[in-house]
Structure 1
Amino acid sequence: MGVDTIIVFDTHWLVNSAYHINCADHFQGVYTSNELPHFIRDMTYDYDGNPELGQLIADEAVKLGVRAKAHNIPSLKLEYGTLVPMRYMNSDKHFKVVSISCFLYRSRLCR
């Protein structure tokens, strides 16, 4: 199919200022959930990102009037709404990952 990147709309990454797109070059770390540490803890992850695709998504969204920002920030980590699916769908690390936040609130003040 030619797929090289999985885009995850992460409903556990809640943001009230825009759609944020986490498109770092690489994601690596150990994750423990702030919300459910008794279920999700010490989960290691190591995935490549796709900064070019993340930026393209943000650029196209902005052209359509959607408030969006792409971030290639190494210290911006992934949330479990992205990490859990990747653990099962991308355990072989075949695919790159782009994570998009959930935009909680949109009004004239946010534009």
Structure 2
Amino acid sequence: MRLIRELCAERELAAIINIHDVALARQFADRIVGLRAGEIVFDGAPGELTAEILTTIYGEEDWDTQAAEEESPAAIPSRSSAEETPLTPCLAPDLATGGAR
């Protein structure tokens, strides 16, 4: 991530990165865009990303925010929604059942 940031700064480029590690995104991103069901639900600076917004994005009910580093607060779900919500296959029907073409 540091290398990407350095290269972008040197060459005056932008980088778009899909990452689900909130702490890492907060540490390196200048801007975070959060999606839920294909819709943008957050677009702002890392410091504006609250526990409430993380709940909207990821569907967790409780988020613990803590300082991993003074300049980089981390966000960790306090419990997994996977324990409460069964996964529904989103793949093509033949892939979801283990078939192959």
Fold in common (TM above 0.5): no
TM normalised by structure 2 equals: 0.24
TM normalised by structure 1 equals: 0.23
Larger RCO (CA under 8 A, 6+ residues apart): 1
Question: Based on CA coordinates, which of the two structures has the bigger radius of gyration?
Answer: 2
